[in-house]
Amino acid sequence: MKIVPSGTVLWAVLLLPSCTLPSSNQNATLVIRGGTSFGFCAGYCTTELHLNADSIVLVESSRNPDTHPDRRYQERMRPDEWQRLVQLVDVAAFSRLEPVYGCPDCADGGAEWIEVEQGEQRNRVTFEYNATLDPIAALAEEMRQIRSRLKPTE
C-alpha cells in the first residue's frame, strides 16, 4: 500500500474544481430552441419550441392575438429524451453553420430555425421549412416530432 502525503491530497482537492471534465452540468445549461413561420398566413403562423433539461414548451402565435390568442403546450422533459437531444447537438459544429440557408419563406414556403445556447454561446440557423440541412438533420427531425406530438390535431 502506498501512502500519499497529506499535502498532495489537499492540493488535489483544491485543484479538482478547475479540471474540465465532461459533466451533466454542461447539459443542464444547454437550451435548444426552434420554430417555424409562414409569411402569408391567417391563424397560427408561428411556432416556437423551447427545450431544456426540465421542460418542453411549444407556443403557437398569430399576427392577430384578438382572434387567435397564443396557445401554449407544455410537458416535463424525460431524462432519456433530453439525453437523446443532447447527443444530437454538437455546439462547435453548430457554431460553424451559416446563419441562413436557402430562401426561407420565399413564395410562402415557410421558414424553420434552430438555436442552440450553452452558457454565453448562442447560435441560430434559419432554413427553408422542412428542408434537410445535413449537419443538423437529425436534431431538426427530432424537434419536428416533438412539435407534432405536443400540438393537438384540430
Give the structural domain span for 108: 30-150
The least confident of 1-5, 76-80, 97-101 is: 1-5
Q: How many domains does the chain have?
A: 1
How far lies 57's CA from each of 18, 42, 52, 61, 104, in Å? 34, 23, 9, 13, 24
- R_g (Cα) of the chain, nearest Å: 21
Domain annotation covers residue 20: no
Domain annotation covers residue 68: yes
Domain annotation covers residue 94: yes
How far lies 154's CA from each of 27, 44, 58, 72, 151, in Å? 35, 12, 16, 15, 9
CATH number of the domain residue 81 falls in: 3.30.1560
Domain annotation covers residue 64: yes
- Tell me the whole-structure pTM to 2 decimals: 0.79
Domain annotation covers residue 140: yes
Q: What is the pLDDT of residues 56-97, one digit of tens each?
A: 999 999 988 888 999 999 999 999 999 999 999 998 889 999
